[in-house]
Chain A
Amino acid sequence: MPVRPTAATTALLTTALAAAATLTACGGGSGSDPDTVRVSFKQSTDNSIHVMDDYLADIKKQFEKANPGKKVELVPIKAPDSEYYTKLQQMLRSAKTAPDLVYEDTFLINSDITSGYLKPLDAYLAKWPDWNQFIDTAKAAAKAEDGKTYGVPDGTDTRGLWFDKGIFAKAGLPTDWQPKTWDEILDAARTIKRRVPDVTPLNVYTGKPAGEAATMQGFEMLLYGTSDGTGDGTTDPLYDSTSKKWIAGGQGFKDALAFVETVYREKLGPDVSTALDPNIQTIVRGDLLPKGKLGINLDGSWLPQDWLEGSGHEWPEWSSRLGLAYMPTQHGQAPGKVSMSGGWTWSVPAKAANPDLAFEFVKTMQTKANAQKWYVANSGIAVRKDVAEDPAYAKAQPSIRFFTDLVASTHYRPAYPAYPKVSTAIQEAMEGVTTGDRSVADAASGYDDTLKEVTDGQVTTR
């Protein structure tokens, strides 16, 4: 039956609403305990991998022993990368859910800084002598456009070519292979295709399903070795720091796309449907490489972490079976080598309840001994000078020396807030030439259009 809205009804409703609001209001978040530091981190989606869990459990023990009365609560987030970011960002939005310490990918850190999710750490870093041990590029990894630093890097990574010596021997190629130009890579792949017919000659990640792996391990490893990307690191092929504008696709961009197109058109890569399988990275690392079904793989320095003891896919022979070569520039022009670097940092949320305690925890994690332990466990590349110079570190894993030397010729992504969208645009262009749906010129102009859209027209040409 209809009820006429009268003053009494309104009053009644208001009271009821107020009551309900009080009843449903959540209690304070668990971050309100001043003696507990809440640390959130990305847990591997692979149940057999618990490298990070073990490491943090160890640090927790050390920290609680050194700081009596203080407790550490580990908050694992189990998700693939892209979903981890989403979940984390939602936690950071509210003081009730914000942890005290978060694990941030440098891919998105600038975005999160712009959103005001993170706290500048300069005041803490100034009073922390160990900070001087960090190499300059790593210090810059979490430095925002405002000149403040928002994170402490726990290592970095570099990228290069992994190749299967067994397949190379069968194909009559040298087992100390080192290509000097892109063409030499393609020639080697063609030779493998001819002489070892039942393997995939060359893997270059591509397309949206592979996500940032396609952009960084695939496309940027090519693009930064073209004439668009000079080796001195002052000019970036994607972003012009002087005018603060993104750069529309130039000749180098098209050349990089053409390389991807060649790989898939000549069937030198994985079958297109496999290449565009969302699980391609797991397929490459867990299946193709260990089973000797992949000739050359353009990939990251962290691969061995999947094959170490306790990883669940132990493959102790990897270091004798696989060779390493740096990624050459397009025509072998100076500086000759290309690598990309990213990495993760430990950051303190702006809404953290116990920022001081959180930074104390960072200090415990980043003592020389603990940092070294982590780099080795995680197949990471040291960002502390004292660790990099330690012979024990270089000897801990066969690939460490090779990938650490690449830090000298590496590039960092222009990880500004628009970067994730730019990256998606690159993946779409790659996918177009991979499937053969689009020509290189088409895909490049499609990228230019999308770029204008996602950067609000902040685009320039070079």
Chain B
Amino acid sequence: MSLRPLTRALPLTPALVLLLLFLAGPIAYCAWIAFTDLQLTGQAESSFVGFENFRTAFRDEEFLNAVWLTLVFTVLSSLIGQNTLGLALASLMRRASKPVRTLTGGIVITAWVLPEVVAGFLLYAFFRREGTLNAILDLLRLPSQNWLFTLPILAVSFANVWRGTAFSMLVYSAALNEIPKEITEAAEVDGAGGLRRLWHITLPMIRRSIGTNLMLNTLQTLSVFGLIWVMTRGGPGDRSQTLPLFMYEQAFQNSMIGYGTAVALLLLLVGSLFSVVYMRLLRTEV
């Protein structure tokens, strides 16, 4: 047995140690907490309770409601909203003149680089009863809305689309530029219309980018907290309380750290389910 592999691994040890200490350690600790009844306050000592927190979660109507809202939020704002809007913007901008491209790109990216809290306040001001949207609707003699109260999950989904579309747009712009011109031209010569070209050429060719984009988008959207917190605090009632907000409420407002952490693990599970589906999408030709 030689020492070579060992000496070769030597330079890696500091990085490995730091990762273990600051990443794997806390994650393992979190996983452990999820199986205890640890509280922030109100109890002298915590104890191991096995799967009790998970059992509680699946009996808890509020949790199930949060799962449902998380799915709605993710599908609406990430899968449908950001993704298709990003692709549409990217395709349209390829044909636009340079100033139009710069301007549109600038606006869309500005929304993306704004801090989450600022974006949240902007959209709160937009949707409020006395907000910008109602002022515009009034001008147009249209009935006013009160979405933050009546359809809060829709309002926050819209906000997330507004904020996050830039990312998809950038990914798809890059992907569309990769498509060789000859192929598109050949299809045009063969008389394929716009939709057919999209379906038979563009989409298959940027399939990998779609997968990557969906995965990144979904994982980001699943963990959106600040935007919703600023706009609605998960309310009214719990009509916009997605899983991250539910976790926060349980862990820090009701002091149930153990339960909150268990829910966090379940959120991780939801994320990985999505990931598995996209991974299958990502697979290249069989």
Residues 204-237 of A, flagged 1 when their CB comes within 8 A of B and 0 if not, give 0001110000000000000000000000000000
Of B6, B21, B41, the residue contacting A117 (CB under 8 A) is B41
Instruction: Please determine whether A8 and B129 come into contact, CB atoms closer than 8 angstroms.
Output: no
Asked if B40 and A20 make an inter-chain contact with CB atoms under 8 angstroms apart, the answer reads no
Name A's interface SS: helix
Instruction: Answer whether residue B9 sits at the interface, using C-beta atoms and an 8 A cutoff.
Output: yes
Contacts of B252 in A (CB 8 A): 82-83, 86
B101 contacts which chain A residues (CB < 8 A)? none
Binds A, one of B174-182, B195-203, B233-241: B233-241
- B14 in contact with A16 (CB, 8 Å): yes
Could you tell me the distance in whole angstroms from the C-beta of B78 to the nearest C-beta in chain A? 26
Please tell me if A273 contacts chain B, counting CB pairs below 8 Å.
yes
Tell me, in angstroms, the Cα distance from A272 to B41 when the chains sit together.
33
Q: Which of B13, B40, B236 sits near A435, CB closer than 8 Å?
A: B236
Instruction: Check if B43 is an interface residue, CB within 8 A of chain A.
Output: yes
- Residues on A with C-beta less than 8 A from B18 are 20
* Interface residue? B194 (CB, 8 A): no
- Of residues 14 through 71 on chain A, the ones whose CB sits less than 8 Å from some CB of chain B are 16-17, 19-21, 24
Given A12-B6, A20-B18, A21-B21, are A278 and B1 neighbors across the interface (CB < 8 Å)?
A: no
Interface residue A310 (Cβ < 8 Å from any Cβ of B):
no
Whether B3 is near chain A, meaning CB under 8 Å from some CB there, is: yes
- Which of B3, B14, B21, B40 is in CB contact (< 8 Å) with A86? B40
Whether B42 contacts A418 by the Cβ 8 Å rule is: yes
Contact check, A114 vs B42: say whether CB atoms are below 8 A apart: yes
Residue from A16, A19, A274, A276 in contact with B235 in the complex, judged by beta carbons closer than 8 Å: A276
- Residue pair A13, B254 in contact (C-beta under 8 Å): no
- Distance of A20 Cα from B23 Cα, bound (Å): 14
| A117, closest chain B residue (CB) | B41
Give the chain B neighbours of A110 by CB distance below 8 A: 42
How far is the CB of A434 from the nearest CB of chain B, in Å? Answer: 9
Contact call B237/A9, Cβ cutoff below 8 A: no
Contact B233 A115 (CB under 8 A): no
Q: Does A242 contact B (CB under 8 A)?
A: no
Known pairs A89-B40, A207-B236, A276-B237; list 14 more (Cβ under 8 Å): A9-B6, A13-B13, A17-B21, A20-B14, A20-B21, A24-B21, A85-B41, A110-B42, A111-B42, A208-B237, A271-B129, A278-B235, A421-B254, A424-B253
- Which A residues are closer than 8 A to B by beta carbons? 1-4, 6, 8-9, 12-13, 16-17, 19-21, 24, 82-83, 85-86, 89-90, 108, 110-112, 114-117, 207-209, 271-274, 276, 278, 417-418, 420-421, 424, 428, 431-432, 435, 437
